[in-house]
Amino acid sequence: MSEPDAETTESGLLDRVQRALMHAEAAARCYLALIVAEGRRAARGLMREGSWMAALVGLGLIGLALLLVGLAMLIESRIGSPGVGYMIVGGLTVIVFLVVMCALIPRDEK
């Protein structure tokens, strides 16, 4: 019987270890690429939803401003003094804002 050559056995083992490490590195790169692609897809979705939300909030604010201006003009025409309607609507808007902000601010209960 012939004994296997020690040099070729070591070389074969090193080749297998090297190929296994290369395979593990390639698998890790693929896994990382999948994670990055999923993150990008999720970020695009969030940006799309965020831009729609910003557009809707802007549209709502424009509508609210026009409604308040119309209400102020109606109050002003009923009272007859220039600028009174805008002051009333502005004051009510500030009061509503302050009430909502006071309700939203968390209180420290000790």
pLDDT tens digits, residue range 34-91? 999 998 998 888 888 888 888 888 898 898 888 888 888 888 888 888 888 888 888 8
Domain hosting 92: range is 6-104
Dist. CA 78–CA 75, nearest whole Å = 5
Average pLDDT over the chain, rounded to an integer: 84
Tell me the pTM.
Answer: 0.51
Alpha-helix residue ranges (DSSP H) falling in the chain: 6-79, 84-104
Collapsed DSSP state (helix, strand, coil) of residue 83: coil
Q: Is 1 a member of any domain?
A: no
- Total of domains in the chain: 1
Q: Is 109 a member of any domain?
A: no
Q: Is 55 a member of any domain?
A: yes
Cα–Cα–Cα angle for 60, 80, 76, rounded to 5 degrees: 5
Q: Is 82 a member of any domain?
A: yes
